Amino acid sequence: MPTSPVLSFADSGTPSTPLHIVTQEDLEHWLGSQPETVAGWLGRLGFSGAIGQGFLAPTSDGAIAVVGYGTRQQRARGRFHLAAGAARVPDGCYHIVSSLPQDELAAEALGWLLLGYSYHRFKPGKPRALGLKAPAGLDPDPVLAMARGEVLTRDLINTPANHMGPAELEAAMRAVAQDFGATVAATTGDALLAADLPLIHAVGRASDRAPRLIDLRWGGTGPRLTLVGKGVCFDTGGLNLKPASSMGLMKKDMGGAATVLGLAQMIMSLDMPVRLRVLVPAVENSVAGNAFRPQDVLASRKGLTVEVNNTDAEGRLVLADALALAVEEDPDILISMATLTGAARVAVGPDIAPFFTSDEALAAALAQAAAATADPVWRLPFHAPYESLIEPAVADLDNAPKGGMAGAITAALFLRRFAEGARSYTHFDIYGWQPTAAPARPVGGVGQGARALLRALSGVLNL
């Protein structure tokens, strides 16, 4: 398992440089409050308060750093604006001078911490030495938990598939469990059939890397929270083989598992009073003589039969057995996360994590939490009239309805059939990848929805 540097705030006693966050709305007033040497220096450098500007200005007793924060309209078009400016100030330790609201300040501090992230397992790099003290009045623990959970998620997604198969994903879960006193059990290979997890076995049996269901548990009191993450460590598409253009990023097809594990780490590090369970069906969807085929009819743990009309719609199959298993324990909240459909990307693009839920309280909490944690999500509907699209003539369910319409919704409806009986079920169809570099988000694996969920769950469960 890859290891990135542990992100942390600088010690309170560390010498630091003041870091002023200046909005364009407040620029004139702020410059008027500074010594003439500072205002004149910044004027000669062309400082306008635009997002991404960052300068060091000399003062009589040292120096101050100044970063631009743009206008309200400009800030609405992005996130982690402090990180954009911080990338242009010299290495060193800083402390923030700002009147930003606490939620906004926490998000900006998170972005600063994530500036230190790079995936360096195969090509050593030299990250920037940009220290930051915890902003005054801000509880640092949730920010650190979010940053470290995000690092775990990114590292797992970024790891090439030849180094991150089902066994390695299990090892990563065991490593996290050991850090927090959690337990892990795994059902592997043909034992999946004996354990009545036939869909997981069917999808993974063609690979020489044995499929498995990984089950992490933590916490002895509080509400039952179960997270289910799609762990397809590489997806060739199976016999419905993907073209090269679609297969290139398939190391990220375990992004759902990586994200729920990052969220689980956040929850455990904050010692939230819940009974946490994390279920990850980990497989590799490969091509071989024993691969499952188009128009096969497969059995499931729930007893529903599934006609396979596309072996490249395998994620919902492995999730189905895991969801059915999860429901048997009657959790208070059940959440699945998966890099599931291209239709979701067409609908909302790579930056937004769409989710489906019938839990109105959680939906409202997620909408508020997304804005507060710089983690955009958007609700899509469990549209019941489309149920007929997933009901073929020869089995109970179809894993890949024809026609191509409403693909994200029909996939979510398919999963909901296996979550029937859950008190609260929510499904996230994430992308898990940053396609172009942005402040605090280099190209590569990225977490989506975990921060919003962490905050929303705290409110909904009254933690």
Residue 429's nearest CA partner among 370, 331, 342, 371 is 342
* Domain extents in the chain: 17-138, 144-460
**CATH class assigned to 144-460:** alpha beta
Is 5 a residue whose pLDDT tops 80? no
Rounded to an integer, what is the distance from CA 350 to the centroid of its chain? 12
Reported as half-sphere exposure (CB side, CA atoms, 13 A), residue 439 has a value of 25
Q: What are phi and psi of 171, to 5 degrees?
A: -60, -40
How large a percentage of the chain has pLDDT more than 70?
Answer: 99
Query: Choosing from 133, 154, 230, 316, which is the catalytic residue?
Result: 316
pLDDT for res 7: 87
pLDDT for res 4: 64
Query: Choosing from 121, 217, 224, 242, which is the catalytic residue?
Result: 242
Check if 17-138 and 144-460 are the same fold.
Answer: no
Q: What are phi and psi of 90, to 5 degrees?
A: -65, 160
- Band of the pLDDT at 3, cuts 50, 70, 90? low
| For residues 87-116, average pLDDT | 94
Is 199 a residue whose pLDDT tops 70? yes
Q: What's the whole-number average pLDDT of the chain?
A: 96
| Contact between residue 191 and residue 213 where contact means Cβ atoms under 8 Å apart | no
Whether 242 sits among the annotated catalytic residues: the reply is yes
For 258-297, the DSSP string reads: HHHHHHHHHHHHTT-SSEEEEEEEEEEE--STT---TT-E
pLDDT in tens, 48-101: 999 999 999 999 888 999 999 999 999 999 999 999 998 889 999 999 999 899
SS3 category, 418: helix
Is 2 a residue whose pLDDT tops 70? no
Give the separation between CA 410 and CA 389, rounded to whole angstroms: 7
Burial tier of 217 (Cβ tally within 10 Å: 0-12, 13-18, 19+): middle
* Largest pairwise CA distance in the chain: 81
pLDDT in tens, 425-442: 999 999 999 999 999 999
CA angle 327, 332, 335 (to 5 degrees): 65
Of 97-101, 157-161, 268-272, 409-413, the poorest mean pLDDT is in 97-101
The amino acid at 168: E
Give the separation between CA 128 and CA 105, rounded to whole angstroms: 21
pLDDT for res 1: 53
- Band of the pLDDT at 15, cuts 50, 70, 90? very high
Is 323 a residue whose pLDDT tops 70? yes
Which CATH number is 17-138's, of 3.40.50.300, 3.40.220.10, 3.40.50.1010, 3.40.50.720? 3.40.220.10
For the question of whether the overall pTM of this predicted structure is more than 0.95, the answer is: yes
pLDDT for res 396: 98
Q: How far is CA 109 from CA 38, 146, 358, in A?
A: 25, 11, 33
Give the separation between CA 188 and CA 171, rounded to whole angstroms: 13
β pairing state of 92-97 and 130-132: parallel
